[in-house]
Amino acid sequence: MTIVGFTSTGSKRPHALFGPDVEGLPQRMHRSAGCMVHATDGREYLDFIMALGAVALGYGHADVTRAVIDAVERGTIGPLSPDDESSLAAELGAAMPWLENVLFLKTGAEAVAAAVRIARVATGRRHVIGCGYHGWLDWCSDADGVPLATRDLYATVPFNDAEQTQHRIRAAGDRLACVVVEPVIDEAPGSEWLAVLRSETERVGAILIFDEIKTAFRIAIGGAAEKWGVKPDLTVLGKAMANGYPLAAVGGSRALMHHATRTWISSTMATEFVSLAAARATVAAMKAHDVPRRLDAAGSRLLNGLKRLATQHGDLGIRVAGIPQMCYLRHDNVQTSHRLAIECARRGLLFKRTAYNFVSLAHDEAAIDRALDILADALAAC
């Protein structure tokens, strides 16, 4: 028996990471620690993919590991809600006061879907406008197998385009249940765009949802809402919140979140001890070590280095996209992106060829400088 598509996580498929030519490249791993990955090919790799952004403290962070071991020894799961559930909810609310109530789930995809469900119940409307990637579920996908009637309820707006965003929200009018956006896509959001999102959703009575799965706990504890001062109606959290353990959340005001009780949103594993304990340890470490500030410093070193390399290798058609905490090299030629990822891997660096690469607390200056040296050598070979 084999796994369909090689692995259950599509973005970790060798072809997704490296392109069609994967012979001799790392495909499976057996250990990770800090910012290093030990692959089954016997080599150790410096990693900037960081589990697709799910890890911000570094792999196997000691505080998180201790909390997880304690949770396992306490039984992992049971018939009642664990006390860590209410404790974590209180800690998130203290860090993000706009989250008066939260609901925990296991994945970002189901948490955003839950936010949309809550918005539909609250407004009595069906139509949704999105911006960014919100998972693979039917409500936001145009993939094969999604009914046309479902697709017709979902439209998109371009990132940072205030004029188009205003036009489409107004055109949807009283049919619009919610607008759900990733607040960072390849660059920081503009103040005009954020203001339009806030004012126009209020104008038509729609719910504004920030998909902060990548940004929360990374650019600030409270993500884009904290950093840029625009508060959404609902916020979705995930990835770095539990430093690699499967946990996501949707939260907002008590009045709005109450609508979750008018529908059915439930996940058996949402209240297992392990991920909740991991998240509590992660949030504590984020605060104790001022992790967002340190990621900004480390990421700025990486981002500035990438800009230098892009200038030096302008003939390859590359440019830098993203913000310090999550950035990558954007390629005009997809073959060049394949070649660079391959050349990096051959030199001991896992560097994503598309959005995004992530710095973590485990990436010190030496690790970043080593990555830039490998990238320079790899670009010279492209």
- Kindly state whether residue 32 falls inside one of the protein's structural domains: no
Same domain, residue pair 294 and 237: no
Residue 181 confidence (pLDDT)? 99
- For tokens 């000691």, what's the residue? 62
Q: pLDDT digit string (tens) for 161-178?
A: 999 999 999 999 999 999
State how far the Cα of 171 lies from the Cα of 234, in Å rounded to an integer: 22
Assigned token pair, 77? 């799961």
Same domain, residue pair 296 and 195: no
Asked if 303 and 324 count as a contact pair (C-beta separation under 8 A), the reply is: yes
* Number of folded domains that form the chain: 2
In CATH, what number is assigned to the domain containing residue 334?
3.90.1150.10
- Kindly state whether residue 247 falls inside one of the protein's structural domains: yes
State how far the Cα of 47 lies from the Cα of 146, in Å rounded to an integer: 35
- Kindly state whether residue 112 falls inside one of the protein's structural domains: yes
State how far the Cα of 355 lies from the Cα of 360, in Å rounded to an integer: 16
Asked if 359 and 328 count as a contact pair (C-beta separation under 8 A), the reply is: no
Residue 63 confidence (pLDDT)? 98
Q: pLDDT digit string (tens) for 97-129?
A: 999 999 999 999 999 999 999 999 999 999 999
- Kindly state whether residue 196 falls inside one of the protein's structural domains: yes
Q: What Cα–Cα distance (Å) separates residue 269 from each residue in 146, 246, 275, 359?
A: 26, 9, 9, 29
- Residue ranges, the chain, pLDDT below 50: none
Portion of the chain with pLDDT greater than 70, in percent:
100
Residue 1 confidence (pLDDT)? 74
Same domain, residue pair 107 and 185: yes
In CATH, what number is assigned to the domain containing residue 220?
3.40.640.10
Which residue range(s) make up the domain with 302? Answer: 10-20+44-53+290-363+372-381
Same domain, residue pair 107 and 193: yes
- Kindly state whether residue 78 falls inside one of the protein's structural domains: no
Same domain, residue pair 243 and 100: yes
- Kindly state whether residue 83 falls inside one of the protein's structural domains: no
